[in-house]
């Protein structure tokens, strides 16, 4: 399982710091202006000479972003209840596609990832192993982050998600090792992931959790000379 981790330093130190410093307060896309008239109005007001007008516009943009995130979190909380994993697997086994509510939850997670919604980390971690492709695509290929909307969203959120993901891994162990390894490799890269786990192991006093961290560290191979 660990062999599937691509041991490449995909994100350098500067790249990691950049991820941490670019958490948006409103949904923006480089080079693209919003077509929403209310958002456009607030953005135009950012150019006002009046400080109070600019402040009000900033507050409105932040509020719109926050309300969008809260609404998306509500979709996930409403649609993912009970033993949904068993239901999804059963549907695929019987030739049925996932219930639309699970598709909605997956879409909500994808959007939260694109929004870099750090406040949604606890909810996404709670549904870390959620997948709507179990029993379907896995017959022809091994799964990746894209098959796990919550884990994929956490990878997009980046550094703010790392500690929470690792803490949950220490509780669950082997069942989350593969996904946690993929996520850490995506966010930190091989070398930084190794350094992160070495430091975490040295701080961990619980023997079982320490062993789980050591098992995950092995996924990142030996240091390069």
pLDDT at 35 (0 to 100): 61
pLDDT tens-place string over residues 179-192: 888 888 889 888 88
Please give the share of the chain, as a percent, with pLDDT higher than 70.
78
pLDDT tens-place string over residues 194-220: 888 888 888 888 888 888 888 888 877
Q: Is position 151 within any domain? A: yes
Q: Are 184 and 196 in contact (CB under 8 A)?
A: yes
pLDDT at 123 (0 to 100): 95
pLDDT at 100 (0 to 100): 86
pLDDT at 51 (0 to 100): 85
Contacts of 38 (CB under 8 A, 6+ apart): 60, 64
Instruction: Provide the CA 31 distance to its chain's centre, in angstroms.
Output: 24
Q: Is position 176 within any domain? A: yes
Strands annotated E in 66-198: none
pLDDT band at 28 (very low <50, low <70, confident <90, very high): very low
Who has greater pLDDT, 135 or 108?
Answer: 108
| Partners of 32 in the β-ladder | 29
pLDDT exceeds cutoff 60 at 33: no
pLDDT exceeds cutoff 50 at 131: yes
pLDDT at 95 (0 to 100): 81
Write down the mean pLDDT value for the chain.
77
Q: Is position 102 within any domain? A: yes
Q: Is position 21 within any domain? A: no
pLDDT band at 117 (very low <50, low <70, confident <90, very high): very high
pLDDT exceeds cutoff 60 at 141: no
Q: Is position 92 within any domain? A: yes
Q: Are 39 and 65 in contact (CB under 8 A)?
A: no
- Altogether, the residues listed in the chain come to a count of 225
Most confident by average pLDDT, 2-6, 62-66, 150-154, 167-171: 150-154
Q: Is position 14 within any domain? A: no
pLDDT band at 29 (very low <50, low <70, confident <90, very high): very low
pLDDT band at 4 (very low <50, low <70, confident <90, very high): very low
Q: Rounded distance, CA 199 to CA 215, Å?
A: 14
Print the domain residue range for 156: 36-220
Q: Is position 17 within any domain? A: no
| Crossing angle of the two packed helices 51-79 and 37-45, in degrees rounded to 10 | 140
Q: Is position 29 within any domain? A: no
Tokens at residue 49, please?
């000479």
Number of structural domains the chain divides into = 1
pLDDT at 139 (0 to 100): 47
């Amino acid at each position: 399982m660990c062999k599937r981790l691509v041991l490449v330093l995909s994100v350098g130190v500067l790249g990691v710091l950049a991820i941490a410093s670019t958490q948006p307060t409103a949904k923006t896309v480089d080079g693209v202006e919003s077509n929403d008239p209310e958002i456009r109005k607030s953005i135009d007001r950012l150019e006002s000479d009046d400080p109070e007008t600019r402040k009000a516009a900033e507050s409105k943009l932040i509020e719109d972003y926050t309300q969008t995130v809260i609404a998306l979190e509500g979709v996930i909380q409403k649609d993912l209840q009970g033993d949904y994993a068993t239901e999804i697997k059963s549907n695929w086994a019987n030739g049925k596609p996932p219930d639309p509510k699970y598709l909605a939850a997956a879409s909500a997670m994808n959007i939260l990832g694109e929004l870099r919604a750090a406040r949604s980390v606890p909810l996404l971690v709670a549904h870390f192993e959620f997948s709507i492709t179990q029993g379907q695509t896995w017959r022809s290929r091994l799964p990746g982050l894209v098959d796990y909307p919550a884990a994929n969203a956490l990878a997009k959120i980046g550094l703010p998600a790392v500690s929470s993901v690792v803490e949950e891994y220490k509780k669950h162990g082997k069942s989350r090792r593969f996904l946690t390894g993929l996520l850490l490799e995506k966010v930190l890269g091989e070398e930084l992931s190794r350094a992160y786990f070495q430091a975490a192991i040295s701080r961990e006093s619980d023997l079982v959790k320490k062993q789980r961290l050591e098992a995950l560290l092995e996924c990142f191979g030996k240091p390069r000379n």
